[in-house]
């Protein structure tokens, strides 16, 4: 089994940050983790509401102001940094918390783009107007591209450079309870200074990837699952037999490593 993150870092906090793809299920997973760990959730939306209240604005007004005023982003960033410096035993549901709280246990929730769009489309949020599933797919793709460009310009970071994270979990075909349990187990291992698998993927997604199995070797490929990742897209490098076996056995999540 491939492992990473062996040995306790010099300085850690028992803070879990949740970032991830649109439709990755951060809110659902955060609620389950909170109930299990007993940690309160601090969300990006909650931060925005608190800052908006302090400025005498609605969240909509704050969003409108942030589009033309960098100081709004600066206030949210400073608030996130302050959380990392003054709090412990919390869950932070925020795309960028991993960047501003280095000692945290940094988690990224990945999802197949179509599955993520189905979740967003099914949620029917009032602020999102999707006329069809196809429209939701395209809107998610556009939002992701804009987000990537914005974070690169503002902070010089790549949100989907998975080397930034302690744990990557694919949520495409698995219950949020299983995702939360996987995070909790890896988090506990990190806190004990023990090794843990860095990546957990749904076998269905691995098998469905374009050219994934063709590039995974021949029938004798008994190697562990290894992936390449570019701009958030995974390609299977090795592990054909492990993927087939996991599918046959109904395994929910399969450990993998990144090249």
Contact 250, 223 (CB under 8 A): no
Strand pairing of 254-258 and 199-201? Answer: antiparallel
Confidence of residue 130 (pLDDT cuts 50, 70, 90): low
Q: Quick: pLDDT tens for 40-86.
A: 999 987 887 788 888 888 866 776 777 678 887 888 899 899 999 99
Residue 124, pLDDT score: 60
1-15 average pLDDT score: 59
Confidence of residue 183 (pLDDT cuts 50, 70, 90): very high
* Residues contacting residue 106 through CB under 8 Å, at least 6 positions apart: 17, 19, 98, 164, 165, 166, 167
How many Cβ atoms are within 10 Å of 36's Cβ, its own excluded?
Answer: 13
Fold adopted by 15-197: Rossmann fold (3.40.50)
Whole-prediction pTM value? 0.86
Domain ranges of the chain: 15-197, 202-259
């Amino acid at each position: 089994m491939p492992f990473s993150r062996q040995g306790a870092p010099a300085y850690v906090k028992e803070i879990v940050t949740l970032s991830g793809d649109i439709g990755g299920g951060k809110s659902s997973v955060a609620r389950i983790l909170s109930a299990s760990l007993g940690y309160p959730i601090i969300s990006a939306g909650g931060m925005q509401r608190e800052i908006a209240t302090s400025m005498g604005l609605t969240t909509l007004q704050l969003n409108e102001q942030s589009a033309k005023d960098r100081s709004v982003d600066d206030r949210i960033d400073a608030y996130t940094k302050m959380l990392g410096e003054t709090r412990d035993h919390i869950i932070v549901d925020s795309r960028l918390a991993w960047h501003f709280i280095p000692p945290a246990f940094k988690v990224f929730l990945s999802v197949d783009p179509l599955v993520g769009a189905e979740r967003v489309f099914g949620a029917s949020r009032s602020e999102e107007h999707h006329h069809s599933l196809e429209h939701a797919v395209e809107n998610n793709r556009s939002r992701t591209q804009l987000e990537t460009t914005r974070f690169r310009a503002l902070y010089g970071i790549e949100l989907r450079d998975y080397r930034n994270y302690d744990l990557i979990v694919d949520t495409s075909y698995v219950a949020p309870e299983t995702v939360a349990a996987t995070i909790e187990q890896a988090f506990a291992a990190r806190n004990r200074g023990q090794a843990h698998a860095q990546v957990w993927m749904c076998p269905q997604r691995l098998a469905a990837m374009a050219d994934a199995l063709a590039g995974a070797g021949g029938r004798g490929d008994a190697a562990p699952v290894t992936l390449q990742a570019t701009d958030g897209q995974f390609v299977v490098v090795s592990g054909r037999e492990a993927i087939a076996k996991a599918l046959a056995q109904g395994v929910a999540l399969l450990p993998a490593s990144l090249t």
